[in-house]
C-alpha cells in the first residue's frame, strides 16, 4: 500500500513591523472603520526594506522543523508568488540557509492557493516514494509589490510565512491528509495580476500588483464552497462533523459566506486575518498555527482547508489534526 502523508510539525513567522488600520489611514484615503467592516482586518505585518520572502520562509521553516522534532527534511517546496528574484527560484537558497544539503527544492507559484497545491504535490511525492519527509513552506511579501497609493490592495495584504513538515505514514494516524481537490481557470488571469516584468512584457512599467476585488470575491466564494464540499463528501464527513474550517484568510465576509454555504458554524471557522491581513500562500499555515496555539484546533479535530487565488486557482483538502506543538513567532 502507498504511504499516506502525515503532518508532523508546524511553524509560522510574521515580520515584527505592525501596520494598523489607523496608521494606514494617515497616508491612504481609507479608514479603520472601512477596513474593519469590509474585511475584518485590524492590522498587518510588513517586511522592512531589505527583508525578503526567503527571509520569512527561513524563519517559519526553522520553527516547523523544530516543532517536528528537529529531523532534517529531504525535499523542500516553497509556495510563493513573491520570490526573492525572478530567477533562480528562492527554495534552493532557503534549503541552503536551513542546512539542508543537496535536497531537491523548488518554488510553486499558485498565489493564494499555493499551500494547498504544495500539499497535493508533497502527498504525491511521498506516495510514490520520491520523498520521505517534505518541508512545505508558504511565504509571501506582497507589500513589496503594491502601489504606494492603492488602497484597494494596501488595506488588505500583509506579509508572513508558515511551514509544515510532512512525512510518510499511515492513513489512520492523526495528521493524515485526506482527499485533496485542486482547480484553475486561466480565463480569469487578469483578475489578479502584475501586468509587466514577466517574459510577455519584460520592459513594461506596470509592475505593481492589481486585484479586481469584487469579481475575485464572487469567484472565491463559489470555488471555495464547491471544492470544500467535494473533499468533505469524499472524506465521508457530514457538515456538522467538521470541527475546524481553515480557509485562505482574504476577507472575513468571504469566510462567512463560504462557511454559511457549507453549514459550518462561525465558531468553527479559524480567523487570523484580523491580525495579519491577507498573507497569500502563507495564510493557511499561519491560520493553522494560530488556531492550534490558541486551542481552537485540537488533536483529532476534523479539519477542512480551502483556498482561492490568482490564476485563478483554487483547492481544498481534509486533514485530521495531529498532536503537534506549533512554533509561532
Ligand atoms: O487572496 C486572493 C483572493 N483575494 C480575495 O479573495 C479578495 C476578494 N475581494 C475583497 O476582499 C474585496 O473586494 C475588497 C476588500 C478588496 C474590496 O471590498 P469591496 O467591498 O468589494 O469594495 P469595492 O471594491 O466594491 O468598493 C466599494 C467602495 C468604493 O467606493 P464607491 O465607488 O462605492 O464610492 C471603493 O472606492 O469602497 C471604496 N473603497 C475603499 N474605501 C476606503 C475601496 N477600497 C477602499 C478602502 N478604503 N481601502
* pLDDT at residue 126 in the model: 98
* Residue 214 Cα to ligand 1 middle (Å): 7
Locate the domains of the chain by residue range: 4-169, 177-323
Ligand 1 atom index nearest CA of 154: 48
- What's the mean pLDDT in 157-182? 97
**What pTM, to 2 d.p., does this model score?**
0.98
Nearest CA to ligand 1 atom 11: 251
Residue count of the chain, please give it: 329
| Residues acting as catalytic residues | 112, 248, 278
Judged against a pLDDT cut of 80, whether residue 329 lies above it is answered with: no
Architecture of domain 4-169: 3-Layer(aba) Sandwich (3.40)
pLDDT class of 1 with cuts at 50, 70, 90? confident
Q: Does the beta carbon of 225 lie inside 6 Å of ligand 1?
A: no
The pLDDT assigned to 121 comes to 98
Residue 151 Cβ inside 6 Å of ligand 1? The answer reads yes
Task: Tell whether ligand 1 has an atom less than 6 A from the beta carbon of residue 77.
Answer: no
Tell me the pLDDT tens digit for each residue of 21-71.
999 999 999 999 999 999 999 999 999 999 999 999 999 999 999 999 999
40 contacts: CB under 8 Å, gap ≥ 6:
251, 252, 253, 255, 271, 273, 274
Give the pLDDT score at 59: 98
Indicate the CATH number of 177-323 among 3.30.565.10, 3.50.50.60, 3.40.47.10, 3.90.180.10.
Answer: 3.40.47.10
What's 87's DSSP letter?
S
List of residues 6+ apart from 213 with CB closer than 8 A: 152, 156
DSSP H or E segment with residue 152: helix 151-154
Q: Give the per-residue pLDDT at 239.
A: 96
Residue nearest to atom 36 of ligand 1 (CA): 152
**Distance in Å, CA 253 to ligand 1 centroid:** 11
Of all residues in the chain, the percent with pLDDT exceeding 70 is 100
Say which residues have a Cβ less than 8 Å from residue 207's Cβ, sequence separation at least 6: 145, 194, 195, 196, 197
- Please tell me the distance between residue 258's alpha carbon and the centre of ligand 1 in angstroms: 18
Q: Write down the pLDDT at residue 208.
A: 97
pLDDT more than 90, % of the chain = 99
Mean pLDDT of the chain: 97
Atom of ligand 1 nearest to the CA of 156: 15
Query: Which residue among 21, 22, 38 is best mutated to probe the pocket of ligand 1, counting the most ligand atoms within 8 A of its Cβ?
Result: 38
Give the tens place of pLDDT for each residue, 91-136.
Answer: 999 999 999 999 999 999 999 999 999 999 999 999 999 999 999 9
Residue 72's pLDDT is what?
95
Q: For ligand 1, atom 20, which residue shows the shortest CA distance?
A: 38
Other Cβ atoms closer than 10 A to 235: 17
Output the nine-digit C-alpha cell for 234: 469524499
Q: Do domains 4-169 and 177-323 have the same CATH topology?
A: yes
Distance from C-alpha of 256 to C-alpha of 269, rounded to nearest angstrom = 8
Ligand 1 contacts CB of residue 217 (under 6 A) = yes
Q: Is the C-beta atom of 152 inside 6 A of ligand 1? A: yes
- Indicate whether residue 39 lines ligand 1 (CB < 6 A): yes
3-state secondary structure 114-150: HHHHHHHHHHHHHHCCCCCEEEEEEEECHHHHCCCCC
- The tens digit of pLDDT for each residue in 196-253 reads 999 999 999 999 999 999 999 999 999 999 999 999 999 999 999 999 999 999 999 9
49 lines ligand 1 (CB under 6 A): no
DSSP class of residue 2 equals P
pLDDT at 254 over 90: yes
- How do residues 261-314 score in pLDDT, each as one tens digit? 999 999 999 999 999 999 999 999 999 999 999 999 999 999 999 999 999 999
Amino acid at each position: 500500500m502507498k504511504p499516506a502523508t502525515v503532518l508532523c510539525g508546524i511553524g509560522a513567522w510574521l515580520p515584527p513591523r505592525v501596520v494598523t488600520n489607523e496608521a494606514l489611514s494617515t497616508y491612504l484615503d481609507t479608514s479603520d472603520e472601512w477596513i474593519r467592516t469590509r474585511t475584518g482586518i485590524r492590522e498587518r505585518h510588513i517586511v522592512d526594506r531589505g527583508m525578503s520572502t526567503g527571509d520569512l520562509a527561513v524563519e517559519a521553516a526553522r520553527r516547523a522543523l523544530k516543532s517536528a522534532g528537529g529531523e532534517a527534511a529531504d525535499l523542500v517546496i516553497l509556495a510563493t508568488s513573491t520570490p526573492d528574484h525572478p530567477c533562480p527560484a528562492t527554495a534552493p537558497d532557503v534549503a541552503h540557509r536551513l542546512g539542508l544539503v543537496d535536497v531537491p527544492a523548488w518554488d510553486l507559484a499558485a498565489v493564494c492557493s499555493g499551500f494547498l497545491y504544495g500539499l497535493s504535490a508533497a502527498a504525491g511525492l511521498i506516495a510514490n516514494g520520491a520523498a520521505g519527509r517534505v518541508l512545505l513552506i508558504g511565504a509571501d511579501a506582497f507589500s513589496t509589490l503594491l502601489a504606494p497609493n492603492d488602497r484597494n490592495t494596501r488595506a488588505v495584504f500583509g506579509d508572513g510565512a508558515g511551514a509544515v513538515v510532512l512525512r510518510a505514514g499511515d492513513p489512520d494516524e492523526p495528521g493524515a491528509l485526506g482527499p485533496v481537490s485542486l482547480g484553475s481557470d486561466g480565463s480569469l488571469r487578469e483578475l489578479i495580476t502584475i501586468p509587466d516584468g514577466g517574459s510577455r512584457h519584460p520592459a513594461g512599467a506596470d509592475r505593481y500588483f492589481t486585484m479586481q476585488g469584487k469579481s475575485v470575491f464572487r469567484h472565491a466564494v463559489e470555488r471555495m464552497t464547491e471544492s470544500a464540499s467535494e473533499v468533505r463528501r469524499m472524506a465521508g464527513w457530514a457538515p456538522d462533523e467538521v470541527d475546524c474550517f481553515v480557509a485562505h484568510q482574504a476577507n472575513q465576509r468571504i469566510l462567512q459566506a463560504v462557511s454559511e454555504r457549507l453549514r459550518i458554524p462561525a465558531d468553527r471557522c479559524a480567523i487570523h486575518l484580523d491580525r495579519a491581513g491577507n498573507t497569500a500562500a502563507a495564510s493557511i499555515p499561519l491560520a493553522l498555527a494560530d488556531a492550534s496555539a490558541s486551542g481552537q484546533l485540537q488533536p483529532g479535530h476534523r479539519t477542512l482547508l480551502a483556498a482561492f487565488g490568482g490564476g485563478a486557482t483554487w483547492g481544498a483538502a481534509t486533514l485530521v489534526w495531529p498532536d503537534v506543538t506549533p512554533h509561532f513567532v
